[in-house]
Amino acid sequence: MGDVHYINRAGRRIKVETLDTGALPKRRRHGRFVQVPEPWLEIRLPALTLAARWLAVVLLWLSFRHHGHAFTCPNLKRYGISRFQKQRALAELERAGLIVMQRAPRRSPKIKIA
């Protein structure tokens, strides 16, 4: 248990025991967000298809998670993007100049946000 000590209140001696509750649990952040550059919003994203826009936002998030370094683009099923949509949208984003890709046979492409 904890330490026992006494305090005096209004002329009375009161026994106080401190409890050891352990470390507090860490608070997890539930809300995740992505910051989109303003030039992308005004000029580049409106010209893209809906799948390419969504992929651009996902790639911005992944780039943030990799501290701006190049990263491999994994399967994106959890974001609702099939592998065929991913291939078409990556090509579209590369043509628009938003990303730079390094392709290798039978590997996921390495992506770098331009």
Single pTM value for the model: 0.69
- Average pLDDT over the chain, rounded to an integer: 88
Higher pLDDT, 21 or 97: 97
Instruction: Give residues with Cβ within 8 angstroms of 79, minimum separation 6.
Output: 54, 58
Band (87; pLDDT cuts 50, 70, 90): very high
For the stretch 68-84, pLDDT in tens is 999 998 888 988 889 89
| CATH-assigned architecture of domain 38-113 | Orthogonal Bundle (1.10)
CA distance 3 to 27: 28
What tens digit of pLDDT does each residue of 4-49 get? 888 899 989 999 888 877 787 887 777 778 888 888 888 888 889 9
SS3 74: coil
Domain spans of the chain, in order of start: 38-113
Residue 99 has pLDDT above 90, yes or no: yes
CA-CA distance, 51 to 90, in Å (whole number)?
10
Strand locations in 1-114 (E): 4-9, 12-17, 71-72, 99-102, 110-113
